[in-house]
Amino acid sequence: MSLPPLAQPQYSQGEPLLRLEGVSKKFGTLVANCDVDLSIHPSEIVAVLGENGAGKSTLMKMIFGVMQPSAGSIYWRGQRVQISSPAQARQLGIGMVFQHFTLFETITVAENVALSMPGTPQELAGKIREASQKFGLAVEPHAPVYSLSVGERQRVELLRCLLQDPSLLILDEPTSVLPPTAIESLFQTLRGLQERGIAILYISHKLEEIRALCQRATILRHGRVTGTVVPKDETAHRLAELMIGREIPRSSHPKATPGEVVLKVSGLSVQEADPLAVGLKNVSFDLREGEILGIAGVSGNGQRTLARALSGEDTLPPSGQGSIEMLGRPVGHLGAAERRALRLAFVPEERMGRGAAPTMALRENALLTAHGEGMVRRGMIQREKQEAFTLKCIADMDVRSSGPAAPASTLSGGNLQKFIVGREMMLRPRVFVVSQPTWGIDVGAAALVRQKLVDMRGQGSGIIVISEELEELFEVADRIAVMFDGRLSPSRSTALTTPEIIGQMMIGLFDAGLDTAREAAQ
Amino acid sequence: MSFPGLTLIPRTRTTPLQVLMVSVTTVILSVLAMVLMFSLLGAEPTTIFQSFFIEPLSSGYNIGEVVIKASPLILIAQGLAIGFRAKVWNIGAEGQLIMGAITASLLPIWWPQSDSMLLLPAMIVFGALGGMVWSGIAALLRTSFNASEIIVTLMLTEIARQVLYFLLTGSLRDPGGYNFPQSVMFPDAGLYPIIGTGAVRANASIIITLLMTIGCWIFVNRAFAAFRLQVGGLAPAAAQYAGFSQKQAIWLSLLISGAAAGLAGMGEVAGPIGRLQSMLSPGYGYAAIIVAFLGGLNPIGIFFAGFLMAIVYVGGDIALVNAGIPSAAPVVFQGLVMVFYLGASLFLRYSLVSVFTLADVKEPV
């Protein structure tokens, strides 16, 4: 997995405002950041780019003094510093706007600001008005926070930072909460701040934004820096590759013989209760028996909501938009148990705690979803059936464990995944939804899981594979659709598309390569 | 927060022996702390220990008293444990006990001269229903409005108490009772038969408790419903994934525990008390919460934990006379058990290790 060397960007005039050298952070045995180098100069907007879980937020929390690095040094204006608290970070001139708002909803804007600054709300109201004029951030100081939209709340967060007169501003996924119209005005504000000499660290996984806004981008993967680039000079494909971390492979496409439609989703829109989560926007697709539909996309673009809506863990509200039909009957209102009774099976992306109860033995975890396979009679558990099922699942999938009594938490991620996939396959589903089938598991286990998926397709199951790994989708899927920002692109036949095109669709360019695809079709 | 050189690491598994050790450690530390505490008040340590833990088992009468107190504690705790395993927190068993006592009392108060064989069984049914109605209110509010069952069951206890006072000073008062807030004495047909001879007051309600214990043991070990409840408690996301209904878990947990508490209330009025009166229980409903946890939420463990707690209740009465210890002693002991249990159970979920034994991880995982 070696990548070609990168040209170092020519943007290092003068002394950096902030410089990190070899910064690492460990939580127990988990490594969130490893040997990270990063620098930023005044008047510079630097992106920190990475997938969810790449260690972006942890890194920012160390700069802002919320956490202390386990190793490495931080230099501020050339001086080595230990930032032991956010208060100290503010004193140095570092301000941060968190992804999750830190405002009290029941009190006013000015009162919220007064909590983090000296001065009464009355005195601060004047300052807030003044600053909101200066920076073009319209905010009414006496409005209670609960009455504000998310865009306005973010302006309050931003203003509160700016009132402290920072020289470095950290923004953690600022656009994840904003409607598209508000994003452009945020960018204008940020460019204005840049002109005033403020440096901005901009955290995101949205490539297009970074290309529009940032002079440099430092890319993180699995807690390590994989490159520092000038985003304007790189193709979206190249950035995606650095972020996802492998050369995107060519397809080796299997043949399918699809039958009747087993799952039909039409115009499905779901609003998430959490304003920070991406919901679903008018998602439609068909799934036929005997085919595998791949759903690609960077995680955090609505895949989670889609999986929950398909599995029945979240049922559609009666007033909700769109419909889900399984085997010709509407199932949107049915819960997970009822959909499973119609022979739907599902492998969630979280194995521990969702796909399996961690402290329970494998045989108990078999009972979890396979209880309909004769394991329960007159309300009582049939131990022999349960044991036989568990043993068969362990043998079929080559699950390495100490046996049916082993608690799920004692298995490695790959072995637990094999167990869960095996359990769900043994239910002989008509519709099989698999989310991130090979996330974080070793190559051998991944190959086995993929092979089993292809085998199941041959036996007539309709399969949906939701995955971030293009390699995987090109290997198993017959068609690929892409999720971005809650929308699902039309699907493309795997044979008629390329990883480059899908890669561009993953950053929102749904029309990418349509011409090429048409040519190829002809 | 951390101590230098030591850190807590989550355990991946716990063995039944570890669960047992937590309870044993809790009891030992609680006993030591109690003896220490009352010695500081000037009592002789050996007298304290003797009064609390030896004398309650020293005579037939005292053992009978222990059984009388153990029976409601175990009965209630068995019901509560089913809910606790599902993380449904009914902490208002005291109120359900009062409602069970009231509803069961309606029958003998209506027919004070009855000698029907059916009176006692009917009271058992009424007692259980009374408790279920009261806990059912909490289940209804939780499932329809997401009102915390912790708050609702606790508040309903106070309401139950006021309902009891209202009825005892009104329609259920003994007309020939000189205006005391109590009902008529129940007929013999409305009382549990006494087990034992002489002054021993232990009665057949212990049979109900034994049946409940056996029933809970079978339920926990064999029933699919118990499995669903347990998954809901251990891994809520897994329960949702499998399609186990949370509403059903809440109803089932609260109705079973309400019925058990109602039965316990019925057992008091149809047992040692013999009538409905304003003082029904020395806090059995609350003590049973501690019994359930001390028993490791296991039907067999609860059985022994209930007896231990009952011994301390009886021992408290003895120590009041022998060692001049305040009558609040049993409650102090319950408090100590709770504190030590919470402390000790931390080590069920985490193990304490030296930071130096942790591998110095360089590679991301």
Q: Residue A354 and residue B241: Cβ atoms within 8 Å? A: yes
Q: Is the ipTM of this complex over 0.95?
A: no
Enclosing H/E stretch for B128: helix B119-145
Strand partners, A168: A94, A199
Measured between alpha carbons, how far is A378 from A505 in angstroms, rounded to an integer?
A: 52
CA distances from A22 to A36, A37, B98, B256 (A): 5, 5, 66, 58
Whether residue B340 contacts residue B30, with contact meaning beta carbons closer than 8 Å, is answered with yes
Whether residue B160 contacts residue B96, with contact meaning beta carbons closer than 8 Å, is answered with yes
Q: ∠ at Cα B54 (B52, B60), nearest 5°?
A: 110
Measured between alpha carbons, how far is A475 from A452 in angstroms, rounded to an integer?
A: 13
Q: Which domains does chain B have, with CATH numbers?
A: 56-323 (1.10.3470)
B62-88 pLDDT, tens digit per residue, is: 999 999 999 999 999 999 999 999 999
Q: What percent of chain B has pLDDT over 90?
A: 66
Nearest to A164 by CA among A96, A108, A90, A99: A90
Å between A337 CA and nearest CA of chain B: 4
Measured between alpha carbons, how far is A157 from A155 in angstroms, rounded to an integer?
A: 5
Whether residue A44 contacts residue A215, with contact meaning beta carbons closer than 8 Å, is answered with yes
Residue-level pLDDT at A399: 87
- The CATH code of domain A251-343+430-521 reads 3.40.50.300
Nearest CB to A379 within list B7, B223, B359:
B223
Residue-level pLDDT at A267: 92
The domain limits of chain A are 18-244, 251-343+430-521, 354-427
B173: phi then psi, degrees, rounded to nearest 5: -70, 145
CATH 3.40.1670.10 fits A18-244, yes or no: no
Torsion over CA: A345, A347, A353, A354 (sign): negative
A385-407 pLDDT, tens digit per residue, is: 999 999 999 999 888 888 899 88
Structure tokens at A57: 């937020």
Chain A residues lying within 8 Å of B246, measured CB to CB:
none
DSSP designation for A52: T
Q: How many residues are there in chain A? A: 522
Chain B residues lying within 8 Å of A29, measured CB to CB:
358-359, 361, 365
Residue-level pLDDT at A375: 93
Residue-level pLDDT at A512: 67
CA atoms within 13 A on the CB side of B212: 27
DSSP string covering B240-278: HHHT--HHHHHHHHHHHHHHHHHHHHHHHIIIII-S-BS
B225 Cβ under 8 Å from any chain A Cβ: yes
Q: Residue A357 and residue B238: Cβ atoms within 8 Å? A: yes
Q: Hey, how many other C-beta atoms are within 10 angstroms of the C-beta on B204? A: 16
Residue of A nearest to B360 (CA): A29
Q: Residue A409 and residue B224: Cβ atoms within 8 Å? A: no
Answer yes or no: same fold for A18-244 and A251-343+430-521.
yes
Nearest to A183 by CA among A160, A157, A213: A213
Å between B102 CA and nearest CA of chain A: 33
Whether residue B270 contacts residue B68, with contact meaning beta carbons closer than 8 Å, is answered with no
B132-178 pLDDT, tens digit per residue, is: 999 999 999 999 999 999 999 999 999 999 999 999 998 899 888 88
Q: What is the pLDDT along chain A (522 residues), one digit of tens a residue?
A: 344 444 444 444 578 999 999 999 887 666 788 899 999 999 999 999 876 567 887 898 899 998 889 899 999 998 999 998 888 998 899 999 887 778 888 889 999 999 888 888 888 898 898 888 888 788 888 988 888 877 788 888 888 888 888 999 999 878 766 666 677 888 888 998 899 899 999 987 677 788 888 999 998 887 888 888 888 888 766 776 777 665 544 434 557 788 899 999 999 998 877 766 778 999 999 999 999 999 998 777 889 899 999 999 988 877 678 899 999 999 999 999 999 999 999 999 888 899 999 889 999 999 999 999 999 999 999 999 999 999 999 999 888 888 899 889 888 777 898 899 999 999 999 999 999 888 766 666 777 888 889 888 888 899 999 988 787 888 889 999 999 889 999 999 888 888 778 877 877 777 766 655 555 555
Residue-level pLDDT at A106: 85
Confidence check: pLDDT of B267 > 80: yes
Q: How many residues are there in chain B? A: 365
Q: Residue B240 and residue A222: Cβ atoms within 8 Å? A: no
Exposed, middle or buried, A1 (CB in 10 Å: 0-12/13-18/19+)? exposed
If you search the block for the tokens 């971390």, which residue do you land on? A245
Average pLDDT, chain B: 90
Q: Residue A337 and residue B223: Cβ atoms within 8 Å? A: no
Q: Residue A311 and residue B241: Cβ atoms within 8 Å? A: yes
Helix (H, G, I), strand (E, B) or coil at A512: coil
Measured between alpha carbons, how far is B290 from B27 in angstroms, rounded to an integer?
A: 12
Chain A residues lying within 8 Å of B217, measured CB to CB:
none
Measured between alpha carbons, how far is A386 from A366 in angstroms, rounded to an integer?
A: 7
Whether residue A311 contacts residue A348, with contact meaning beta carbons closer than 8 Å, is answered with yes
Q: Residue A335 and residue B224: Cβ atoms within 8 Å? A: no
Å between A318 CA and nearest CA of chain B: 17
Torsion over CA: A510, A511, A516, A518 (sign): positive
If you search the block for the tokens 């296991």, which residue do you land on? B298
B14 Cβ under 8 Å from any chain A Cβ: yes
If you search the block for the tokens 């186990």, which residue do you land on? B244
Helix (H, G, I), strand (E, B) or coil at A346: strand
Measured between alpha carbons, how far is A493 from A521 in angstroms, rounded to an integer?
A: 10
